[in-house]
Amino acid sequence: MSSKELDSNLNYLVTSEVDELWGLTVTTVGHQKICEHESYPPKNHPLEYYFNVDKGRVLNEYQLLYITDGNGIFTFGSSKQSCFISEGKMFFLMPGVWHTYKPIENSGWNEYWIGFKGEIIQKIVDEGFFLNRAPVFNIGLNERIIDLYIKAIEIAREERAGYQQALSGIVMHILGLMYYRDKTRDFEDEELIKKINKAKVIMRESIYKSLTAEDIAKQLNISYSGFRRAFKEFTGTSPSQFMLELKLNEAKLMLSTTNLSVKEISYSLNFDNPDYFPIFFKKRTGQTPEEYRT
């Protein structure tokens, strides 16, 4: 796709009943470069998406908008909360939520967007991953995410069989990278990151040992409270839970590849309470160890 073609590329897609069975469908994807002093939104928007920036609008779908150049203002919700938007920020539009956005005067901006809906994204939102926070994600300029938008535009333009399923995969990839980049962007203490990565190595190499998170903190010469807080902020889970998940994965492997009894596996992995192991296993997998082995 040439830079000229990319400067203004809008795709508004039709979905079939079969596409909707997939659980996630894409309704629109595109890119626009808004020049200084240019009216916003441009006149080439179709009626169902065109909006007056002073009055705002409400969509019946989700959209991810990524700004890679320029500055603007995004206002949303019944309280009309405003956020300053600069390059490297992505905002997540929710269905049924009033919003408006535009580049600031004398700025213009470069925007990518993709709109989608379906039970898969609805379940993710209902689980609380994007609730109780401003819908603006500071992810920085990321070439991989831009490539995903460009690929989605190319696929949407061709509209070959199965294109909706391919686009849904791209949506999930962008959504996951947005969540990941936003979660880790502010974690910049390189020395602490090294210690957390070292801690993960120690955990993996100590699956068969009786090792606690406190022991690891001592090895790293860091307070346990500081280690636990930093580890959870960086990985999204506590050190103790991370170690349990490692032991769980190893238990699955042992159940699949050895004849050791459930109790022997529990002892070899140094679970604090071997009698609790089957309960923990079923809680995490939905199966007892014996059912998993079968």
- Domain end marker among 127, 158, 184: 184
* Model confidence, pTM: 0.68
Burial 162-195 (b: 16+ CB within 10 A, else e): ebbeebbebbeebbebbbebbeeeeeeeeebeeb
| CATH classification at residue 167 | 2.60.120.280
Q: Both 24 and 124 in a single domain?
A: yes
- Domain end marker among 184, 212, 238: 184
Q: Both 205 and 279 in a single domain?
A: yes
Q: What is the pLDDT of residue 286?
A: 92
Distance CA 58, CA 115 (A): 13
Residues 95/7, Cβ–Cβ less than 8 Å: no
Q: Both 139 and 214 in a single domain?
A: no
Report the DSSP pairing between strands 72-76 and 109-117: unpaired
Per the structure, the complete domain to which residue 106 belongs is given by 3-184
Q: Both 39 and 171 in a single domain?
A: yes
How many structural domains are present in the chain?
2
Q: Both 167 and 217 in a single domain?
A: no
Q: Both 165 and 243 in a single domain?
A: no
SS3 289: helix
Q: Both 201 and 149 in a single domain?
A: no
Q: Both 287 and 170 in a single domain?
A: no
Q: Both 124 and 81 in a single domain?
A: yes
Q: Both 58 and 120 in a single domain?
A: yes
| CATH classification at residue 268 | 1.10.10.60
Burial of 43 from C-beta contacts in 10 A (0-12 / 13-18 / 19+): exposed
Query: For 260, which DSSP code?
Result: -
- Taking CA atoms, 244 is separated from 68, 103, 195, 231, 292, in Å, by 40, 48, 19, 15, 18
Q: What is the pLDDT of residue 134?
A: 87
Distance CA 107, CA 120 (A): 37
Q: Both 173 and 201 in a single domain?
A: no
Burial of 199 from C-beta contacts in 10 A (0-12 / 13-18 / 19+): buried
- Which secondary structure element, helix H or strand E, spans residue 30, and what is its range? strand 25-34
Q: Encode the chain (294 residues) as per-residue pLDDT tens digits.
A: 444 444 457 677 878 888 999 999 999 999 988 888 888 887 766 555 668 889 999 999 999 999 999 999 999 999 999 999 999 999 999 999 999 999 998 888 999 999 999 999 999 999 998 888 889 998 888 889 999 999 999 999 888 989 999 999 999 999 999 998 887 766 666 788 788 888 988 998 888 888 899 999 999 998 998 889 888 888 878 999 999 999 999 999 999 999 999 999 999 998 877 788 899 899 999 999 999 998
Residues 69/107, Cβ–Cβ less than 8 Å: no
Q: Both 130 and 164 in a single domain?
A: yes
Helix then strand then coil, % of the chain, to nearest 5: 45, 20, 35
